[in-house]
Amino acid sequence: MSILNDLIGTFNSAVESVTETYNTVSTSSFSNRAIQVNGQTIWITKLLSEGGFSQVYLAENRQKELFAVKAIRCRLDKEAAKTAIREALITDRFQQKGIIQIIDVCMVKEQDGNKTLYIIMPFYKRGNLQDMIEKNFIGGTHISERELLLLFKQICTSIQILAKYTNKRGERIPYAHRDIKPANILLSDDGTMPVLMDFGSAKPARIYIENKKSAIVEQDDAAEHCSMPYRAPELFSVEPDSLLTEKVDIWSLGCTLFAVAYGTSPFEMTINQQGGTLPLAILNRQFSFPYNQQHYSKEFQNFISWMLTTDPDRRPSIDHVLLALDKLMNKTPS
């Protein structure tokens, strides 16, 4: 992937050396615009989703092949461009089964002087797990426990890849995704393979919090990049002289499994039923399973509760989660 290799170099030269194509379409409306991506023209046809820092569009090339294109607006400052490039580099670092693949990237200079980083990825017509949750709610259906556990095992395997990352020098540097949620897990076209996406929040997992200042910085970063209903409690109240680890993802996995099974995240369910605020519900571990439901076993619920252990030192590792998952699946009828 030559364009990414170019971006790895010194940042100032990278920003100046990437494509600077001036677009004739208003930057407030990306639909029906064409962009040049390393010699290939692709046409953006419609908006698929929009987040706080980016938009994802459906696009096609001359051969009518479909792509998902993530557009990250970098404004005028180089720091924003650096952050966007960093997301592409981290995503490229984990190009394995179950993790979103990068087909290409390019930086485009807009008429207003801002730059937009385009990340071109495969398009998955089934959408994401959040789409599946909403479809099940509308249809009054549910996914079976065994089928859900099979999907969840593959998600956990992708998280294990991040947690066991080793660089080219042989140094182990665990990564955390830090924004695991149903909307960030796509489904393959046959519906059997979950694909982890959106690495804008991902970073090396183990962060020592030296003092109050660094605690505030890390807490603010989590507030900006980690979705609140799925955010681990230690990211709401970061303590000086503490260590953040990859176990923040275990909490998010527990919330995600709960949401796919029961239609919403555990702590959103709590405040919908009892009132209050999400941060307090999460910090107090205030949640319960739906009463009188027959679809999921007590062992399944205990498995979720285990991942939602407030103390990260007592929360299971991804290896322990996978071991427990295998045991649970052996007890679950086909």
Pairwise CA distance, residues 219 & 198, whole Å: 20
* pLDDT confidence of residue 19: 39
Q: Name all contacts of 24-28 with Cβ < 8 Å and 24+ positions apart.
A: 27/73, 27/110, 27/111, 27/112, 27/114, 27/116
Where in the chain do CATH 1.10.510.10 domains reside?
A: 129-331
What is 2-122's CATH topology?
Phosphorylase Kinase; domain 1 (3.30.200)
Please tell me whether the overall predicted TM-score, pTM, comes out greater than 0.85 for this model: yes
Distance CA(94)–CA(91), nearest Å, equals 6
3.40.50.150, 1.10.510.10, 2.30.30.110, 1.20.1730.10: which CATH number matches 129-331? Answer: 1.10.510.10
Give CA separation, 223 vs 64, 228, 287, 306, in Å.
39, 7, 21, 24
Q: How far apart (Å, rounded) are the C-alpha atoms in residues 118 and 74?
A: 11
pLDDT of residue 9: 44
pLDDT of residue 20: 41
pLDDT at 220: 96
Ranges in the chain annotated CATH 3.30.200.20: 2-122
- Please indicate whether residue 112 is annotated as part of the active site: no
User: What is the rounded CA–CA span in Å between residue 39 and residue 22?
Assistant: 15
Enter the DSSP assignment of 99.
B
Options 179, 198, 313, 319, the catalytic residue: 179
pLDDT at 25: 33
Residue ranges, the chain, pLDDT below 50: 1-3, 7-28
CB 23 within 8 A of CB 111: yes
The gap from C-alpha 292 to its chain's centroid, in whole angstroms, comes to 32
Beta bridge partners of 242: 209
Question: Cα dihedral sign for 70, 74, 78, 80?
Answer: negative
